Amino acid sequence: MPFEWSYFFSLFSMPAFWAACWTVVKLSSLAWLLGLVLGFGLASAKQAASRWLSAPAAIYVWFFRSVPLLVLLIFVYNLPQLMPASGKVLSNPFYAGLFALVLTEAAYMAEIHRGGLLSVAKGQREAARALGIGRLGTQRLIVVPQAFRIALPTLTNEYVTIVKLTSLVSVISLSELLLVGQRLYAQNFMVLETLGAVAVYYVLIVSLFGWGLQYLERHLDLGRRKPGTLGDAQVTKLRSELPQVATGNARVREPGTPAALYLSNIHKHYGDHHVLKGIDLSVQPGEVISIIGPSGSGKTSLIRTVNGLESIDKGEIVLFGESFIQAGDRPENRRQREGVRRIGMVFQSFNLFPHRTIVDNVLLAPRYHGLGDSAELRRQALALLDKVGLLAHADKYPHQLSGGQQQRVAIARALAMQPDIMLFDEPTSALDPELVGDVLAVIRDLAREGMTMLIVTHEMDFALSISDRVLFMEDGHVQLDASPAAIHHGNHQRVRRFIGLENA
């Protein structure tokens, strides 16, 4: 039997097919959007620390990924027999089909979202926390935009899957494309021609919306964004409009002034490993303290307890005479959040937000905390970038900068919160040797301005030249707390051997 081309082409002008096509578009788009939102909620719940949230979410995903959609469609459509009150909605094939599709797709999309969320580096959340940004703000401003970019290609593929799954809704008599085709070839027996037209309609829908989602994917691709460096004339003009930014504290220590930071008997365990074993430390306003010692001695753990990135098992941290962190505190309580805003943190691996420009990285926390109007905050952010020598790169993204430049942006970002204390966790260890000097120069300038600083570093010459005191840590203890001069001239053989003075 020859293929009836004239009949095949006539099907593309048939109103019933175009109406069915619109039904497929509405059904698939709504199912995708609702599944997208519900799936993200499930993914977040599944990752929650509380078993009361994670267990039900895991059970939901397991169950609805296991039940065939065809079975679920028939069950939902007949649910009014068990629950008559649902008949007003579920007796309509469109709503019944939509409900069944959303239940199924939410389970699949939850796993897609979970993959995206797991791909966002832990350091991104830590950087937000160090800036005093709450959990919801971190999700909204930092985690979700990055996770969505990562998951978008798979989410696009899932839309294609939903479009094809709408053909199953014909079993509950929804007039979608397949059902319209079945009714036609049941009358004229032209099966191949009718199903061929149905296939073309599906291809058109998938292609149209697939191209739209691919355009969105390309638009969100940071690799395609290549803002240039500002010219000298632009930088000069911009610099003339910027305010002067002041950092640091006065080094004058009046009698009775409380310590900027006081750590009392700090203990920290990771499981059975006792990392910090009763650390006591007092830091006066304007002091620069370098923390040195062999790997595994507890240096990074110590500095991370100071701004609450790590909890403490025993002891107390006092900030400017007020209790800040105590053992057993609930994470991110109000007292901690307020104290963290007074402490700037610069990480070893930069932890810049890759989806935001350099100036937006600096702006984000002050704008979140409402420290001023947007225009003034932007001027201050640009002034800080100028301070660290990166004004010309303000509109670039982190991936366009060298490691040393990224670290200087991280310093500017921390300074934007106008902190009283700055923490540096091995700020140069991830840099090539030729990039170290620029970062150390910025830190040295902050020291001259009187900024109170704690610096974990392996740059021994730098530590001895910049510090008021040097702490040598080993095996979870502070083995020595002395001035650089005392280390140079004293009889501290272990420390002198560690920093290379003993052989000299």
Q: Where are the alpha helices (DSSP H) in 391-479?
A: 403-415, 433-448, 460-466
Closest to 155 (Cα-Cα) out of 97, 73, 212: 212
Note the pLDDT tens digit of each residue in 178-213.
Answer: 888 888 888 888 888 888 889 999 999 999 888 888
pLDDT at position 306: 92
pLDDT over 60 at 504, yes or no:
no
User: Looking at residues 88-114, what average pLDDT do you find?
Assistant: 94
Question: In percent, how much of the chain has pLDDT > 90?
Answer: 56
When mean pLDDT is compared across 6-10, 23-27, 64-68, 248-252, the lowest value belongs to 248-252
User: Looking at residues 3-16, what average pLDDT do you find?
Assistant: 88
pLDDT at position 251: 45
What is the residue-averaged pLDDT of the chain? 89
Burial label, 64 (beta-carbon count in 10 A; 0-12, 13-18, 19+): buried
Tokens of 8: 């095949």
Would the pTM of this model clear 0.95, i.e. be above it? no
Sketch the domain layout of the chain as residue ranges.
5-220, 286-303+342-499
Select from 1.10.10.10, 1.10.3720.10, 2.102.10.10, 3.50.50.100 the CATH code of 5-220.
Answer: 1.10.3720.10
Which pLDDT band holds residue 316 (cuts at 50, 70, 90)?
very high
Under CATH, domain 286-303+342-499 is a member of which superfamily? P-loop containing nucleotide triphosphate hydrolases (3.40.50.300)
User: Looking at residues 39-48, what average pLDDT do you find?
Assistant: 93
Note the pLDDT tens digit of each residue in 111-150.
Answer: 999 999 999 999 999 999 999 998 899 999 999 999 999 9
Per the CB < 8 A criterion, the answer to whether 425 and 346 are in contact is: yes
Tokens of 169: 């809704």
3-state helix, strand, coil in the chain (%, to 5): 60, 10, 30
- Tell me the C-alpha distance between 52 and 65, whole Å: 21
pLDDT at position 470: 92
Which pLDDT band holds residue 337 (cuts at 50, 70, 90)?
confident
- Tell me the C-alpha distance between 103 and 94, whole Å: 14
Note the pLDDT tens digit of each residue in 387-420.
Answer: 999 999 999 999 999 988 999 999 999 999 999 9
- Tell me the C-alpha distance between 298 and 474, whole Å: 7
